[in-house]
Chain A
Amino acid sequence: MSNNCQPNGHTRVNNQPLFHITKRKALPWYYTWGIRGAAIVAALLTCAAVTSLLTGENPLEVFQTIGYGAFGTTRKTWILLQNLAILLCISLAVTPAFKMRFWNIGAEGQVLIGGLATAACMILLGDKVPNAVLIATMVISSIAAGAVWGGIPAFFKAKWNTNETLFTLMMNYVATQLVAFFVIVWEVPKGAGKIGIINQDTMAGWLPQIGDYKYLLNILIVAMLTVAMYVYLNYTKHGYEITVVGESERTARYVGIKVDKVIIRTMLLSGAVCGIAGLLLVGGTDHTITTTIAGGRGFTAVMVSWLAQFNPIVMVLTSFLLVFLDRGAGEISTVFALNHSFGDILTGIILFFIIGSEFFVNYQLNFRKNTGKEGKANV
């Protein structure tokens, strides 16, 4: 065991590496969250340093600008909450699949197709049926569309073990092109290349608004979904089966779980929740559809879910962190006339730090004492 594959392994005495790595036993929760918190603080400091380097502003004011972008006005706070709700919704959707070790990176397409189904109902049935019936149709069709889009790769995965990462990824682009196709079919006016606000006069198919709060309904729906998903994953038979399949497919077979069925069922659910996100975006927020309506959140959701260790409640925090940074970075870009992709850079930095910090949660470095005997020291 002397030749460890560590880069620092060359600094040896007596042919022993300076340290070796062992897996930790389970740490108390405050320890793990302490490590993660430290990583986030370090990441925020790095973000501030990078920002001041690029803008010449002092780091304290950078934080101030970020805070203003996120919570500066009531309107900004509502937008933050709305973005948080949608990102959280998509993250909830991908979670059961990930817990099963099914790498669904096709949430983007499942959201799009759910949105497309919603828009189709709004456009085709807009003036023909009562509003309540229309909204019911929208809900059903968006959920069904998302479920089908998630179910297709799952079927092939279950039947022939087709690589789901690439399959779901390709389904994103198929969905994007489908939307692009229908945008041209339905464009208003002809040749505009976009649909514009659907049913602007009649507001047919617009999800109801609670009081004066435009986004409140979305937020409430996602809050309920969060609780429901938490219960589903932790306290139901389905949730248990998902965990077992994720831990070990062989064990699952051995105890009599029908793995194929679980894979397909879970992906139908995952797609269906994505479809709801599409419904909320098209029916509840934008009242139009474009190819970029999901805006990369299908990919961000993967990371939100993973960072929260697949725990729906913790996902509220992780998605808040990412949305907060994104809104803050947007403010910085506006103030300093920089490109709006700045948020992605900051998101990337935060992610790198948290991803790296997981190492210190799961492993420990055991330093060798200079006396030649091995000693253990926690880091």
Chain B
Amino acid sequence: MFDLVSFIPRAVAQSIPLLYGATGEILTEKSGNLNLGIPGIMYVGGICGVIGAFLHEQAVPADEMTALSAIGIPMLASLIGSLLMGLLYCFLTVTLRANQNVTGLAITTFGVGFGNFFGGSLIKLTDSDVPSIALSATSNYFRQALPFADGLGWFGRIFLSYGFLAYLAIIIALASAYVLKHTRVGLHLRAVGENPATADAAGINIAKYKYMATCLGSMIAGLGGLYYVMDYACGVWSNDAFGDRGWLAIALVIFTIWKPNMAIPASILFGGLYILYLYLPTGMNLSIKELYKMLPYIVTIIVLVITSMRNKRENQPPESLGLPYFREER
């Protein structure tokens, strides 16, 4: 029998990094920037959180930590790290008008390398005597679920058993959806992504909106990396463990047709597909599992094809997506 009560919480836990990444990328793309650097930025967000937490744990014994510093320091480090990556991307693509695809891929190369390098060398670089990076004390603060969740049976397990970053992801997604759709700032941002020349003529500062949206998007995506190490992986960093989630997050953006609120169910669906192979019967043949792992990618491809076939006007990407804006070139 398919065990939904154990499946759903795991699917949700899988989905949170995807949700952060997708929300961040939607904001970015709404400004007309196609940031393929998101996978790298998520690594940077994760490892910066780890570095912050590691230094904090080295300096302060576990029983003297307060919740505020244990959560605040890694989170701040993570946000700063991913903000810097976002700024770098913006500087190259907005100010210097470089090709967005190439810049994004370079950011991803750099970010993944940065994450793996510090993940693998942090202990050596700080001359500490711990065998591996296991930030269980910090992780416990991040994983703290609501105290009464256990008492509520299946309801508690499905809805209340997550760390605060999971709920934050949903709040951020809903807030972004609201801002994009119902506020003046959101309207301006969409105008910048659709037709920067017109927006410019209307007096909107294109560079400012692109910088703001992309940097904010990077910071949100970086939190996805932080959630992954601190909550999902219980504070244990292992190289390449984060895997291809960043790319899936970018694929989710198309799946959700650029709507952050749609990203919530969509990422949970993807999270489910991501771990479905653990629940499907394989019989004696273990190799079938490897084929099941294709599911999220195959589904993405099918969705891509279907949305392009239907070709509805409201389901299209922002019109100037991927193009640099140069006022004098109209």
Complex contacts, A352 vs chain B, CB 8 Å: 88, 92, 106, 110
Q: State whether the Cβ of A6 lies closer than 8 Å to any Cβ in chain B.
A: yes
The answer for the CA separation of A170 and B286 in the assembled complex, in Å, is 23
Interface secondary structure of A, over-half rule: helix
Spot the interface stretch: A210-218, A245-253, A299-307: A299-307
Q: Across the interface, do A156 and B305 meet the contact criterion of CB distance under 8 Å?
A: yes
B 107-132 to A, binary, CB cutoff 8 A, 1 in contact else 0: 11111111111111100110000000
Tell me the minimal C-beta distance from B153 to chain A in angstroms: 37
The answer for the CA separation of A245 and B146 in the assembled complex, in Å, is 58
Interface secondary structure of B, over-half rule: helix
The answer for the CA separation of A178 and B297 in the assembled complex, in Å, is 12
Interface positions, chain A 304-357, Cβ under 8 Å from B, are 306, 337-345, 347-349, 351-352, 355-356
Smallest Cβ-Cβ distance to B118: which chain A residue: A339
Interface residues on chain A, number (Cβ under 8 Å): 58
Interface positions, chain B 240-299, Cβ under 8 Å from A, are 244, 247, 250-251, 254, 286-288, 290-291, 293-294, 297-298
Give which listed residue, A156, A161, A344, contacts B117 with CB less than 8 A: A344
Complex contacts, B136 vs chain A, CB 8 Å: none
Q: Across the interface, do A174 and B297 meet the contact criterion of CB distance under 8 Å?
A: yes
Q: Across the interface, do A167 and B117 meet the contact criterion of CB distance under 8 Å?
A: no
Tell me the minimal C-beta distance from B8 to chain A in angstroms: 24
B 298-313 to A, binary, CB cutoff 8 A, 1 in contact else 0: 1011001100110100
Q: State whether the Cβ of B158 lies closer than 8 Å to any Cβ in chain A.
A: no
A 151-187 to B, binary, CB cutoff 8 A, 1 in contact else 0: 0000010001111011101110110011011101100
Q: Across the interface, do A355 and B117 meet the contact criterion of CB distance under 8 Å?
A: no
B 83-112 to A, binary, CB cutoff 8 A, 1 in contact else 0: 000001001100111110111011111111
Q: Which of B106, B207, B294 has the most CB of A within 10 A?
A: B106
Tell me the minimal C-beta distance from B52 to chain A in angstroms: 18
The answer for the CA separation of A5 and B208 in the assembled complex, in Å, is 8
Smallest Cβ-Cβ distance to A21: which chain B residue: B328
Known contacts A105-B105, A338-B120, A344-B113; A169 and B251 CB within 8 A of each other = yes
Q: State whether the Cβ of B327 lies closer than 8 Å to any Cβ in chain A.
A: yes
Q: Across the interface, do A170 and B125 meet the contact criterion of CB distance under 8 Å?
A: no
Known contacts A170-B300, A341-B120; A180 and B329 CB within 8 A of each other = no
The answer for the CA separation of A7 and B90 in the assembled complex, in Å, is 12
Which 6 A-B residue pairings sit nearest by Cβ, starting from the closest? Answer: A344-B113, A348-B110, A339-B120, A341-B116, A184-B287, A359-B96
Q: Please, could you name 19 A-B residue pairs with CB atoms under 8 Å apart, sorted by A?
A: A5-B205, A161-B308, A163-B254, A169-B251, A170-B297, A171-B297, A173-B297, A184-B287, A299-B105, A299-B108, A302-B102, A339-B121, A340-B120, A341-B112, A341-B116, A342-B117, A344-B109, A344-B116, A355-B103
